[in-house]
Amino acid sequence: MRTGRLFRGSALLAAVVIALTGCDDGPPQSPPPPAPVAVMTLVPARVELTEDLPGRVAAVRVAEIRPQVSGIVQQRLFEQGTEIRAGDPLFQINPAPFKADAEMAAAALQRAGAALARAQVQTRRLEPLMQAEAISRQTYDDAVTQRDQAAADVAQARATLARRQLDLKFATVDAPISGRIDQALVTEGALVSPTDAGPMARIQQVDQVYVDVRQPATSLEALRQALALRQADRHSGLPVTVLRSDGTPYDAEGRILFSGITVDAGTGDVLLRVLVDNAQRALLPGMFVRARVHRASYAGSLMVPQQAVVRVGGKPLVWVVGDGDVVRAQPVDLGELIERRYRIRAGLEAGQRVVVGGAERLSEGAIVAPHDWKPADTATR
């Protein structure tokens, strides 16, 4: 019995001690500090929407120099690789055979003219005799027929002479267009003919060039809308900047002339033809370049970095810092992604502060410690 009383007394004493200990809560804990976040203030700015597409340069016009008469090339009359004008002589084919043919045709014309003159005189002599019935009507009609045949012979001889003179002119091969001529493909002493498979030389007009680029057919509708808007503003074509391989632009501006009507079955691309002024001759046919096509222009647009946009349930939103440095989630309507920045169509206003860095630990209504956000390239410098 005594042992049981001692046990009950010890248990009561322990319960009292525990109760007294539980009443001592200790000092109150301090709230966690505000989370540091990087923020940026939205400022409206003009945004140019562009797209870089690979392209290849082609000459505006290409002329293959071919002879129109057969003969031996006597002389090349141009410097290879130089600029020439339309009508400049390029090759001289031996003109002696054509000159002889022209002289023969001139002699034949002279002979036909003499025969015509004799027939006309004969007709004039027989006419009064026929009226006086001194000769038969048949005799007079035969004289008239000979006169008409002589006139036809004169016309034929004149046409033959013109053709022979034209062949003599064709013995000098002239440039059909202005441009830069490539190397000569025939040498002096070569026999050339209009039926030859290869040309004598090539001329390419490069003061203006085409840049043929390809883009996905899915973007064609947006391009057509941009072209229609440009034409409505009385502008001709969308502006295009031609870029070198290192990304620097050429000193040449271009514009889109048209888009193709056939989609490549293998790639799903459609052809765009760009006309570029090439006064410095920096662009040569066959070069591969990149064409920066200007799609659209937005005035007063709000842009936010790509990392500032979070998605909850597939819907985009950004954290906005309000009064008292309290954050709230703001749904937004996103536009195009341009250089890792989203264009905001709706949901934000100029002057608002948007969280760019440190949004992983945020919750609705939390208080933050904001500091200015600096882009990566600025921080590196």
Q: For residue 27, what pLDDT is reported?
A: 55
Average pLDDT over residues 132-149: 90
Average pLDDT over residues 371-377: 78
**Cα 353 to Cα 345: distance, rounded to the nearest angstrom:** 17
pTM > 0.75? no
Domain ranges in the chain with CATH number 1.10.287.470: 95-170
**Cα 192 to Cα 188: distance, rounded to the nearest angstrom:** 10
Q: Give whole-number Cα distances, 16 to 4, 6, 12, 24, in Å.
A: 19, 16, 6, 13
Closest CA to 71 of 163, 223, 200, 208: 200
Q: How many residues does the chain have?
A: 381
Tell me the CB-side half-sphere exposure of residue 93, using CA atoms within 13 A: 25
Confidence of residue 30 (pLDDT cuts 50, 70, 90): low
Q: Any residues with CB less than 8 A from the CB of 112 and at least 6 apart, and which? A: 150, 153, 154, 156, 157
DSSP annotation of 135: S
**Cα 256 to Cα 231: distance, rounded to the nearest angstrom:** 12
- Indicate if the pLDDT at residue 163 is higher than 90: yes
**Cα 242 to Cα 255: distance, rounded to the nearest angstrom:** 10
Domain ranges in the chain with CATH number 2.40.30.170: 51-60+205-299
On whether the 95-170 domain is CATH 1.10.1200.10, my answer is no
Average pLDDT over residues 289-314: 84
Pick the residue with more confidence: 155 or 323?
155
**Cα 237 to Cα 103: distance, rounded to the nearest angstrom:** 56
Domain ranges in the chain with CATH number 2.40.50.100: 67-93+171-198
Domain ranges in the chain with CATH number 2.40.420.20: 36-45+300-380
* Architecture of the domain delimited by 36-45+300-380: Beta Barrel (2.40)
Instruction: At 334, list the tokens.
Output: 């996103």
CATH of 51-60+205-299, one of 3.30.70.1380, 1.10.220.150, 1.10.540.10, 2.40.30.170: 2.40.30.170
Confidence of residue 165 (pLDDT cuts 50, 70, 90): very high
**Cα 319 to Cα 40: distance, rounded to the nearest angstrom:** 11
Residue with tokens 């013109």, as numbered in its chain: 162
- Indicate if the pLDDT at residue 9 is higher than 50: no
Bridge partners (DSSP) of residue 320 are 328, 354
Average pLDDT over residues 43-68: 89
Closest CA to 280 of 255, 250, 256, 254: 250
At 172, which helix (H) or strand (E)? strand 172-174
What mean pLDDT, rounded, does the chain reach?
84
Least confident range from 16-30, 49-63, 256-270, 357-371: namely: 16-30
Q: For residue 221, what pLDDT is reported?
A: 67
Q: Any residues with CB less than 8 A from the CB of 31 and at least 6 apart, and which? A: none
Asked whether 256 and 306 are in contact (CB, 8 A), the reply is no
Pick the residue with more confidence: 255 or 227?
255
Instruction: At 311, list the tokens.
Output: 């998605």
H helix runs in the chain, sequence order? 2-22, 96-131, 137-170, 220-232, 376-380
Confidence of residue 261 (pLDDT cuts 50, 70, 90): low
Neighbour-count burial of 171, counting CB atoms closer than 10 A to its CB (0-12 exposed, 13-18 middle, 19+ buried): buried
Class of domain 67-93+171-198 as given by CATH? mainly beta
DSSP annotation of 144: H
**Cα 346 to Cα 332: distance, rounded to the nearest angstrom:** 6
Distance, first Cα to last Cα, the chain: 87
